[in-house]
Structure 1
Amino acid sequence: MASKSTFFFLTIFLFFINLTVSQQISTVDSECTNRWIHIRTLPSRFNLDLLSTCNHYPITDDLCPYLANHGLGPKTHTHTRSWYRTDPLLLELIFHRRILEYPCLTPDPNLATAIFLPYYAGIDSLRYLYGPDLNSSSDHGSDLLHFLTNDSPEIWSRRSGHDHFLIMARPAWDFSQPLTVDPPIWGTSFLERREFFNLTALTLESRFWSWQEQAVPYPTSFHPHSLPFFESWIRRVRRSRRSSLMLFAGGGGTSSSPNIRRSIRLECTTTNSNVTKSENAKICDFVDCSNGICEHDPIRFMKPMLQSSFCLQPPGDTPTRKATFDGMIAGCIPVFFEDQTAKMQYQWHLPESEYSEFSVMIPKEDVVFRGVKIADVLMSIPKEEVVRMREKVIEIMHRVMYRRHGASLGLMSKKDAVDIAIDGVLNKIKSRVDDL
């Protein structure tokens, strides 16, 4: 416990030092016109204090080990500088650390185009989802709203929250419980509070009708720190021998009722492993990730992904999957089964018009109810088309990765998931404010 406590307070110390330094060294630059961001100073109960509850919820994983390296988690092995055991729930911490390096920070909110709220909403939601405030989930956000409207209220009221944004490292559905529902169902009501309708929430998965949130990629375990390390990984992806036609890394599909995961499992287990129509040694590889055993162990699934041409990305409890981005990091072409899994989610990072260039779409109804075999569809794609799609995945890989904080200038020249999210937020806020 002593070492954990020491680490926790060291993290707090480093955060405040970085915050102070970052806002002091921001330089006035013509490139920052209409791009200034002010980081709202919030009481620590809204962010850093929440890290002390990292092991308070026995129903969930103990998050304490994954606070290391400013939320990237512990390294997968001693000598790596790019691979970590990252927990997606800590994207709020990762983003907070990264935005401190943003070159257009201003300590003056009146000069800012956007106001960033460093509130760890996903971590705070755990007490409503699993903890002592389970029956008070409609109160989620009340304390934050009280602070914003009473401490320097002119910052919030200037544009009625239109210029504010935050990260919520869970699907938006987890914050969308109707305020009037009784008895309470799953989730909190943060995004249902009308006072927050104007702010922009970056979530791991968005709803399909709301203008409040925008989906951003799930963080993978790959966080390179320099351009040579990133380029070295690209070379490995390109030379990897794709000995399997397709891969499914995931759980579920064991029930008797028809669903896409069940169909995938049946096809993977019953198909002939000797492929005569292609050069692949196996038609389907399967990595069983049931019960969360893959969540913090990229070694378990990255090698099979590197060895597969296509990675199957069926929806699960919600439409989107972290494995989509794990596969793309491995150069594995994603195969989607419904538009809600990706095309309707990540428009800033993966524009809808590009999906046919790097992915395959097979409607799940065709597989589950019409007898379409996934392997037949994939084997019918010409080899040169497969090569072209893989090159496109490699070309856009930097858009869905979260580089390590403190990365080299060379790597910073490639916009990653954080850079693109910031660009998207600024454009969205500008269009909203212009319409006021």
Structure 2
Amino acid sequence: MASKSTVTTLTIFIFFFIEPRLSQQISTVDSECTGRWIHIRTLPSRFNLDLLSTCNHYPLTDDLCPYLSNHGLGPKTHTRTRSWYRTDPLLLELIFHRRILEYPCLTPDPNLASAVYLPYYAGIDSLRYLYGSDVNSSADHGSDLLSFLTRDSPEIWSRRSGHDHFLVMARPAWDFSQPLTVDPPIWGTSFLERPEFFNLTALTLESRFWPWQEQAVPYPTSFHPHSLPFLESWIRRVRRSRRTSLMLFAGGGGTSSTPNIRRSIRLECTNVTETEPETSSEKIKTCDFVDCSNGICEHDPIRFMRPMLQSSFCLQPPGDTPTRKATFDGIIAGCIPVFFEDQTAKMQYGWHLPEEDFSEFSVTIAKEDVVFRGVRIADVLMSIPREEVARMRERVIEMMPRVMYRRHGASMGLMNKKDAVDIAIDGVLRKISSRV
């Protein structure tokens, strides 16, 4: 492993296992923590920090080592920034682990806890089964963890049969859903197919819709403010940004001749025209396109964030899987999301996005109408009154704190605004209390 990564891992080790020990103290305000106590299960380092040493062991994947810094937020996009980082979504397990250490209702006594958090970096550990030497034994993923949980203080796991345990898995749930009986193995590991884990709650980047043990949480964006003034400053910039493009697509794909929604979007954006707004002489672009093929935008928010700030609507078509990190990048930019199927967001992020009034902040156009029935996306969007667009954008801005992951060690003012981690913890506690 590279020497820089060794230093990074050592820094993380010092922080996690020396300083945060103080966090596992019972709060003095017991009344505020009633029914909210969380116990962090102490796991051997082979289940979390030791896994970080393999950050560049898999040549078929990106080298994760540069993005371990700042406790998983990654390096800053530029030296003077206080809020923007080159964050890799696959490090959400590390980000969440660091953040939960600041949770005010931690208890060292599992008997007092309403929930037990497993700081297991399942997504990082899965790399050896997906791309490494253990690819042919992917059905074994989770067996070592299960063995530990049932051997070390087994009463913690067995008292509720795992119903009160939860963990973060920073990949789509499909990557952990290979049937145990498949031979030869297909894509994925079998972690979520193990009957012993059916009762725990898994926070994933994308869920499979039907299994009740999973809940999708937002992909981490690059925006991680540490104080309320920095969040408010960004919101002011979003509000005053001139939206010079009707719609934007930031992504790849759509280059094959097979009919699909991404191909239709590319074709519609090929002949970019200008549109004359009803109440202004200023012309705006009908469609802007940021080509993010081959992952070139993945760690470079500068490529797409400015175009998102300048667009009224951000198109969010499904790709290899239904969900997209760009959905949350767009919300951070105040760009109204346009969905083409419910599985992209509405059926996924019920804790973080208001499912009951989805049309209040987004537009849905059936992909079949665009691909096979000749519906032009621009025509649909231009038919929305400007007052309605302004109202929808304001609703998107209001949702911004709910989908961002603030920086660890944030100021008290910002901590009073619930972010993606806070809302995920609230959801876990509700889910567990409903069934134990």
Q: 1:29, CA displacement in angstroms?
A: 1.8
Amino acid at match of 1:27: T
Deviation at 1:9, TM superposition (A): 1.2
- Residues matched between the structures, number: 432
CA contact (8 A) 1:248 1:287 kept: yes
Contact 2:177 2:193 in 1 (8 A): yes
Q: Is the 8 A contact 1:244 1:280 kept in 2?
A: no
Whole-angstrom CA distance in 1 between matches of 2:5 and 2:365: 47
Secondary structure of the 1:432 match is coil
| 2:356 equivalent to 1:353 | yes
**1:242 touches 1:280 (CA, 8 Å); kept in 2?**
no
CA displacement at 1:6 relative to structure 2: 2.2
| Superposed displacement of residue 401, structure 1 | 0.3
Alignment-mate amino acid for residue 37 of structure 1: I
- What is the match of residue 30 of structure 1? 31
2:150 aligns with 149
Q: Pairwise mapping of residues 305-384 of structure 1 onto structure 2 (< 5 A)?
A: 305-384=308-387
Match for residue 12 of structure 2?
11
Q: 1:69, CA displacement in angstroms? A: 0.2
Provide Cα deviations, 1:45-72, integer angstroms capped at 9, x if missing partner: 0000000000000100000000000000
Q: Aligned AA for 1:410?
A: G
| Matched-pair identity in % | 85
Given that 1:174 and 1:186 are in contact with CA atoms closer than 8 Å, whether structure 2 keeps it comes out as yes
Could you tell me whether the CA contact under 8 Å between 1:93 and 1:120 is conserved in 2? yes
In 1, the alpha carbon distance for the partners of 2:147 and 2:235 equals 48
Moved more, 330-339 or 4-13: 4-13
Distance, in Å, in 1 between the alignment partners of 2:329 and 2:276 is 29
1:276 matched residue in structure 2: 276
Letter in 2 for 1:5: T
d(CA) in 1 for partners of 2:213, 2:201:
5
1:234-257, Cα deviation, whole Å (9 max, x unpaired): 000000000000000000000000
In structure 2, what is the Cα distance between the partners aligned to 1:243 and 1:375?
A: 14
Which residue in 2 is equivalent to 1:297? 300
Asked whether the 8 Å contact 1:160–1:198 carries over to 2, the reply is: yes
Amino acid at match of 1:251: G
Q: How does 1:350-429 map to 2 (within 5 A)?
A: 350-429=353-432
Q: Which amino acid aligns with 2:274?
A: N
- Cα distance per residue 1:59-88 (max 9 Å; x no partner): 000000000000000000001110000000
Name the structure 1 match of 2:190. Answer: 189
Counterpart secondary structure, 1:125: helix
* Contact persistence 2:27–2:33 (CA under 8 A): no
Structure 1 Cα separation of the partners of residues 330 and 163 of structure 2: 35
Matches of 2:25 and 2:66 in 1, distance apart? Answer: 32
Cα separation, 2, equivalents of 1:313 and 1:2? 39
Hey, what does 1:245 align to over in structure 2? 246
CA–CA separation in structure 2 for the residues paired with 1:236 and 1:19: 35
Structure 2 equivalent of residue 255 of structure 1? 256
Q: After superposing the two structures, state which structure 1 stretch, 416-425 or 178-187, moved more.
A: 178-187
Contact 1:245/1:280 (<8 A) preserved:
no
- 1:43 paired with 2:41, answer no
Q: Which amino acid aligns with 2:76?
A: K
Q: How far apart are 1:28 and its partner, in Å?
A: 4.6
2:94 is the alignment partner of 1:93: yes
CA distance in 2, matches of 1:168, 1:150: 23
Q: How far apart are the structure 2 equivalents of 1:352 and 1:329?
A: 18
* Partners of 2:224 and 2:404 within 8 A in 1: yes
Q: Which secondary structure state, in structure 2, belongs to the residue aligned with residue 264 of structure 1?
A: helix
Distance 2:154 2:283 in 1: 62
Alpha-carbon contact 1:18-1:100 (below 8 Å) kept: no
C-alpha distance in structure 2 between counterparts of 1:27 and 1:88, whole Å: 35
Task: Give the deviation of 1:19 after TM superposition.
Answer: 3.1
Judge conservation of contact 2:249–2:289 (CA < 8 Å) in 1: yes
User: What 5-or-longer segments of structure 2 have no aligned partner?
Assistant: none
* Corresponding residue for residue 221 of structure 1: 222
Q: Is the 8 A contact 2:5 2:53 kept in 1?
A: no
Distance 2:3 2:253 in 1: 39
- Alignment equivalent of 2:288, drawn from 285, 290, 297: 285
3-state SS of 1:203 partner: strand
CA distance, structure 2, for counterparts of residue 166 and residue 151 of structure 1? 18
Could you tell me which amino acid in structure 1 is paired with residue 107 of structure 2?
A: T
Alpha-carbon deviation of 1:262? Answer: 0.1
Write the distance in 1 (CA, Å) between the matches of 2:55 and 2:159: 35
Distance (whole Å) between structure 2 residues aligned to residue 39 and residue 140 of structure 1: 22
Q: Amino acid of the residue matched to residue 409 of structure 1?
A: M
- 1:75 paired residue number: 76
TM-score of the aligned structures, taking structure 2 as reference length: 0.98
What is the deviation of 1:25? 6.1
The C-alpha deviation readout for 1:181-217, integer Å capped at 9, x for no partner, is 1111100000000000000000000011110100000
SS at match of 1:166: strand
CA pair 154-231 structure 1, distance change in 2 beyond 3 A: same
Which residue type is aligned with residue 58 of structure 2?
A: Y
Helix, strand or coil at the partner of 1:167:
strand
For residues 118-162 of structure 1, what are the alpha-carbon distances to aligned partners after superposition, in whole Å with 9 as ceiling and x for unaligned? 000000000000000000000000000000000000000000000
Post-superposition CA distance 1:352-389 (Å, at most 9, x none): 11211000000000000000000000000000000000
- Give the distance between the partners of 1:2 and 1:398, measured in 2 at CA: 36
Contact 1:334/1:358 (8 A) holds in 2? yes
C-alpha distance after superposition, 1:331-370 (max 9, x if no partner) = 0000000000000000000121121100000000000000
